[in-house]
């Protein structure tokens, strides 16, 4: 699946699975209180340890940060060790009380979330098989004890396949939207630059057709006046020369400005 930014939906799903696991821990406590006073203290201690370990799933110091927002795509040592760690008190609880098997539903889902698709599916099936075996060995074999965990794991595998596909589609759609926005931004910038170039070209044409033409006309008139002997005295002649030179300098500056306004050839 395409890597994406933090997903509040994914984090909510993970937090919900942890919350479900914490709720399911109430079942072993109830069973211990009602039927197993001899191991009540031990069960309470194991439940407390399991609850603390489950809560660490929401902290990046214990679980890879990317796994907090979306199902894992590759095998990670930290996630694997964390899953193995939370299974220790859970397996002990299964030995003490059959109601601990319900916690397996949340643990199957966590395995599917924190491990890559194939590895997670295998881990969920293995955990379900171990749950069924623990139930049968320590609390008696029955069809419900065997088929229940396996069916629950199978259903969760199908659900996770659909969830991964949904998140992949969502990530692809988000990437497409981001690409469209970037293209739109580039297009707007190109249009702005084209508008600036068009305006500069218009100003150049305006200057060429008005100021430059008028300065050229002034130069021609001064040349004509000099040719017809206007300003025969030294003062008048000097004034005409200065006017002609000023007009020539202004025309040169105007043409240079027009050249700068012209678009750069591709």
**Residue-level pLDDT at 263:** 59
Q: Read off the pLDDT of residues 150-193 as tens digits, 9 standing for 90 and up.
A: 999 999 999 999 999 988 888 888 889 989 999 888 898 888 88
Instruction: Specify the pLDDT at position 265.
Output: 52
Question: What burial letters (b/e) apply to 52-91, b meaning 16+ CB within 10 Å?
Answer: ebbeebeeeeebeebbbbbbbeeebeebbebbeebbebbe
C-alpha 58/C-alpha 69 separation (Å) is 10
State residue 234's pLDDT score: 66
Neighbours of 155 (CB within 10 A): 12
Res. 2: pLDDT tops 50: no
Question: Quick one: pLDDT band at residue 228, thresholds 50, 70, 90?
Answer: low
Q: Is the pTM of this model over 0.85?
A: no
Q: How far apart are CA 121 and CA 123, in angstroms?
A: 5
Higher pLDDT pick, 133 / 262:
133
At 3 the pLDDT is: 44
- pLDDT tens, 7-49? 677 788 889 999 999 999 999 999 999 999 999 999 999 999 9
SS3 content of the chain, % helix, strand, coil (to 5): 85, 0, 15
Q: How far apart are the C-alpha atoms of 91 and 28, rounded to whole Å? A: 12
Q: Answer with the residue of higher pLDDT: 2 or 51.
A: 51
- Burial classification of residue 194, based on how many CB atoms lie within 10 Å of its CB (0-12 exposed, 13-18 middle, 19 or more buried): exposed
Euclidean distance between CA atoms 183 and 255, whole angstroms: 38
Q: How far apart, in whole angstroms, are the C-alpha atoms of residue 153 and residue 36?
A: 28
Q: Does position 246 have pLDDT exceeding 90, yes or no?
A: no
Distance CA 252, CA 258 (A): 10
**Residue 145: both structure tokens together:** 């004890």
How far apart are the C-alpha atoms of 259 and 246, rounded to whole Å? 20
105 — pLDDT class (breaks 50, 70, 90) = very high
pLDDT at 1: 40
Q: What is the pLDDT of residue 237?
A: 67
Q: What's CA 115's distance to the chain center, in Å?
A: 21
């Amino acid at each position: 699946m395409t890597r994406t930014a933090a997903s509040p939906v994914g984090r909510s799903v993970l937090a919900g699975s942890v919350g479900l696991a914490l709720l399911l821990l109430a079942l072993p406590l109830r069973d211990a209180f009602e039927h197993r006073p001899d191991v009540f203290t031990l069960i309470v201690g194991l439940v407390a340890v399991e609850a603390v370990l489950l809560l660490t799933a929401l902290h990046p110091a214990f679980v890879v940060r990317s796994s907090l927002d979306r199902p894992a795509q590759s095998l990670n040592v930290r996630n694997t060790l964390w899953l193995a760690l939370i299974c220790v008190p859970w397996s002990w609880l299964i030995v003490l009380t059959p109601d601990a098997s319900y916690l397996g539903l949340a643990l199957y889902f966590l395995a599917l979330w924190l491990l890559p698709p194939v590895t997670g599916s295998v881990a969920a099936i293995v955990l379900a098989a171990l749950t069924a075996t623990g139930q049968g060995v320590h609390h008696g074999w029955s069809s419900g004890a065997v088929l229940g965990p396996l069916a629950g794991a199978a259903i969760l595998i199908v659900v996770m396949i659909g969830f991964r596909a949904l998140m992949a589609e969502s990530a692809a759609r988000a990437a497409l939207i981001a690409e469209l926005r970037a293209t739109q931004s580039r297009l707007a910038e190109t249009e702005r630059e084209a508008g600036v170039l068009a305006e500069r070209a218009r100003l150049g044409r305006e200057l060429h057709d008005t100021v430059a033409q008028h300065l050229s006309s002034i130069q021609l008139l001064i040349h004509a006046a000099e040719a017809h002997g206007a300003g025969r005295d030294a003062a008048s002649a000097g004034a005409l020369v200065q006017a002609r030179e000023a007009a020539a300098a202004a025309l040169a500056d105007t043409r240079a400005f027009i050249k700068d306004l012209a678009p750069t050839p591709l």
